[in-house]
Structure 1
């Protein structure tokens, strides 16, 4: 399963059925779970922990030092979950001590070609990053987010669950759950109705989320007033609650409005 022209450090820990293609380099402090396939010309530096049944394609770089001038060689890490497909030339850096010390990618994500995920980012589950999407440091992407091609996310920003970004979006503020945003700078353009339908949201839930969108973006309310209205919607429809939770968690940050 290990190509003779691959270089595996003796201090790396690979499950018995892990496959590694030619000219790949796996350094010390790397652990890789069962069923994971590493293509040719992949570089993985530690400390990096990769779960089960991932597929990592050629020219990918995982676990390199963070691109942060304050980094001084501290033992930070990259953690990747299970069943991720990581396509060609993806780069994911380890965390920094100024963050939480780790960069985290969850389960069942599709990272297309030339994605960059910087230090201390947190990626949830079931996301799709289209070609050339890039995250600066300390970005949080929640579950089921889709980033269209060439989307850029500024450092310390968050994108809520089920959100969708248009091609070439430049995101410099937080994006609440369920929203569609696009443009440079990105602006809100309704809720991600088609994505929600595909994930089993009912017509009534989608209608309530539309009402929540109007409260937040179309009624001229300030944030405190909007949150008060959203509390009443969330009491009647649980699907609205993630928007409210996101706003409560992010009151210290700027919000796309």
Structure 2
């Protein structure tokens, strides 16, 4: 994709361990634009003294959530992220839970869905060098973080993180791309899903549906595209059968 075509922010959202941070960085690198990670800003505003925030929620989740409860840090994070995006040239890639809902400007909004098992597997792979967490332990942490975030956003913004997808241009699901709790499976899943994201970004920013159509014909990648928002569907003249391309894959259990 020609990065010169991409002039609006691309915003990735999703539940814990869906891959937002990883894919925001990959997309930004491919497009030659900045990546903005809301967690980086939050941890810095909390003065949490973290050299790496990649797994901070799995090491210090309750501590950081408590700090958020007793400060105006979310106000400051929202204000800083909004200012950074507004000032950016070329459209950054933003990794944020809530930004798609409270940002009022133009953006390509993408929801990254991933079932509980695939997210627990990804968590266990990324946490293994530091804490050697089991899949079950990771699933429990994911559940706790998701529920805390859902409650916070319902109170703060009025949307339900579990069910509200109305603001998104693309609703994606990468569950089936993660087939085992191994680094190899994780790398393959990341590579394959990057292809899907790139096609969505190219179609969503250029106005040309062909890159997305090509992805939809792929037996492995096509099922990742669960839904397409009303704006793009209207622009392309797509009907219900095309905007809901595949049923959501059944969630797997631990």
TM over 0.5: no
Larger Rg over CA atoms: 1
Relative contact order (alpha carbons < 8 A, sep ≥ 6): 1 or 2 greater? 2
Q: Give the shorter-chain TM-score range.
A: under 0.3
Q: TM-score scaled by structure 2?
A: 0.23
Higher strand share: 1
Q: TM-score scaled by structure 1?
A: 0.23
